[in-house]
């Protein structure tokens, strides 16, 4: 089976400076790309991930200075989780207390220890204790000891009215399989080491979600290359009656988008060319990178973007 799994998750934040500070300094992720929203170049698009910027490690944000808060609800991504070594949840609980991060108690979910928390703009997150994660590479530029550092995304929890049709997309198009059930949660996994888990919670009767600060905008799944992506697009159309957008060049991957039957925006993003396409691996995230079609407007764009430091 191909390692389809999650490529990245994109969410909406408040002011960029606070978003950057939280994900790099408090959580210790690497800023792997500093660019703008290609469809709205007055807004940053910040990408956080592991040392290599691997697909499956990436959480990205559109930080809007004056965003209204969103609401978690039906047809939205309820939680995004990261992998940490099993023995690290105590360290993280202390860190969250010290840093004033809103968090819950460590709970058990599918036999794993899970520490839920929120970012400063209300995005619902979790750290999942993962066996042997300590042997995997981590980004360790800050004050977080490497044995406790985040090791990429674990996955997402999707909240939908009725998960059956959403599940069919995951299993038939993206190569996930159902592995467990617990209460109203059904777990789907691929064999991808990072970003390989999607939990679906079917819960009728809740209010629909409302997009805003703290909301996940979309979840992107991996395609190896254009041919792999085209195969998935064909399957979506022929077997599920779902049309995707045309392919958009996002510089670091090429993407198509569609709304899955539960109402959540999904993307299929290619693994290639990756984040080193326009700057060296060693200095990922250091400079503001713009796609070729916006380069002519660089000084105007830079003048309007908020200060980051
Ligand atoms: Zn995306």
Residue ranges with CB less than 5 Å from ion ligand 1:
10, 220, 267
pLDDT in tens, 216-258: 999 999 999 999 999 999 999 999 999 999 999 999 999 999 9
pLDDT in tens, 99-147: 999 999 999 999 999 999 999 999 999 999 999 999 998 898 889 999 9
What is the rounded average pLDDT of the residues 258-281? 96
The reported pLDDT for the residue numbered 206 is 85
In b/e form, how buried is each residue of 116-126, taking b as 16+ CB within 10 angstroms?
A: bbbbbbbbbbb
Residue 3 has pLDDT above 80, yes or no: no
Q: How far is the CA of 14 from the centre of ligand 1 (A)?
A: 18
SS3 70: coil
What is the rounded average pLDDT of the residues 188-206? 94
Q: Are 117 and 103 a contacting pair, CB within 8 Å?
A: yes
Q: How far is the CA of 159 from the centre of ligand 1 (A)?
A: 19
The reported pLDDT for the residue numbered 285 is 96
Query: In the Cβ-directed half-sphere of 184, how many Cα atoms lie within 13 Å?
Result: 11
Per the rule left: phi > 0, alpha: psi between -120 and 50, beta: everything else, 193 is alpha
Q: How far is the CA of 112 from the centre of ligand 1 (A)?
A: 28
In the block, which residue shows the tokens 């697909």? 55
- CB-count exposure of residue 73 (10 Å: 0-12, 13-18, 19+): middle
Average pLDDT, the chain: 95
Structure-token pair, residue 121: 């703009």
Q: How far is the CA of 155 from the centre of ligand 1 (A)?
A: 15
Q: How far is the CA of 153 from the centre of ligand 1 (A)?
A: 15
Q: How far is the CA of 119 from the centre of ligand 1 (A)?
A: 19
Domains of the chain, earliest start first: 6-304 (3.10.180.10)
Q: How far is the CA of 33 from the centre of ligand 1 (A)?
A: 13
Q: How far is the CA of 97 from the centre of ligand 1 (A)?
A: 32
Q: How far is the CA of 163 from the centre of ligand 1 (A)?
A: 22
216: phi then psi, degrees, rounded to nearest 5:
-80, 125
Residue 210 binned pLDDT confidence (cut-offs 50, 70, 90): very high
The reported pLDDT for the residue numbered 4 is 84
Q: How far is the CA of 8 from the centre of ligand 1 (A)?
A: 6
Report how far residue 129's alpha carbon sits from residue 145's, in angstroms, rounded to the nearest whole number.
16
pLDDT in tens, 49-98: 999 999 999 999 999 999 999 999 999 999 999 999 999 999 999 999 99
The reported pLDDT for the residue numbered 2 is 60
The reported pLDDT for the residue numbered 1 is 46
pLDDT in tens, 144-156: 999 999 999 999 9
- CB-count exposure of residue 9 (10 Å: 0-12, 13-18, 19+): buried
Q: How far is the CA of 105 from the centre of ligand 1 (A)?
A: 31
Q: What's this model's pTM, rounded to 2 decimal places?
A: 0.97
Q: How far is the CA of 247 from the centre of ligand 1 (A)?
A: 12
Q: Of the candidates 220, 232, 225, which has an alpha carbon nearest to the alpha carbon of residue 174?
A: 232
């Amino acid at each position: 089976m191909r390692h389809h799994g999650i490529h990245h998750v994109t969410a909406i934040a408040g002011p960029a400076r606070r978003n950057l500070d939280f994900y790099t300094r408090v959580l210790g992720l690497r800023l792997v790309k500093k660019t703008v929203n290609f469809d709205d170049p007055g807004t940053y698009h910040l990408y956080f991930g592991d040392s290599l910027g691997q697909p499956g490690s990436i959480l990205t944000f559109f930080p809007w200075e004056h965003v209204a808060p969103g609401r978690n609800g039906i047809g939205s991504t309820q939680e995004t989780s990261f992998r940490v070594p099993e023995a690290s949840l105590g360290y993280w609980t202390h860190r969250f207390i010290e840093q004033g991060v809103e968090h819950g108690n460590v709970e058990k979910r599918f036999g794993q220890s899970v520490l839920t928390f929120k970012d400063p703009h209300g995005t619902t997150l979790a750290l999942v204790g993962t066996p042997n994660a300590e042997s995997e590479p981590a980004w360790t530029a800050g004050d977080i000891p490497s044995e406790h550092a985040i090791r990429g995304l674990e996955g997402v929890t999707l909240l939908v009215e009725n998960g059956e049709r959403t599940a069919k997309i995951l299993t038939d198009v993206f190569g996930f399989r159902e592995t467990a059930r617990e209460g109203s949660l059904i777990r789907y996994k691929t064999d991808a080491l990072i970003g390989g888990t999607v939990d679906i919670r079917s819960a009728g009767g809740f209010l629909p979600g409302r997009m805003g600060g703290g909301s996940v905008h979309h979840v992107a799944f991996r395609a190896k290359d254009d041919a792999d992506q085209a195969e998935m697009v064909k399957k979506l159309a022929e077997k599920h009656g779902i049309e995707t957008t045309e392919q958009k060049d996002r510089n670091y991957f090429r993407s198509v988008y569609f709304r899955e039957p539960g109402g959540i925006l999904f993307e299929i993003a290619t693994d290639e060319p990756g984040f080193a396409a326009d700057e060296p691996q060693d200095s990922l995230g250091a400079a503001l990178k713009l796609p070729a079609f916006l380069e002519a407007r660089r000084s105007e764009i830079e003048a309007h973007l908020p200060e980051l430091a």
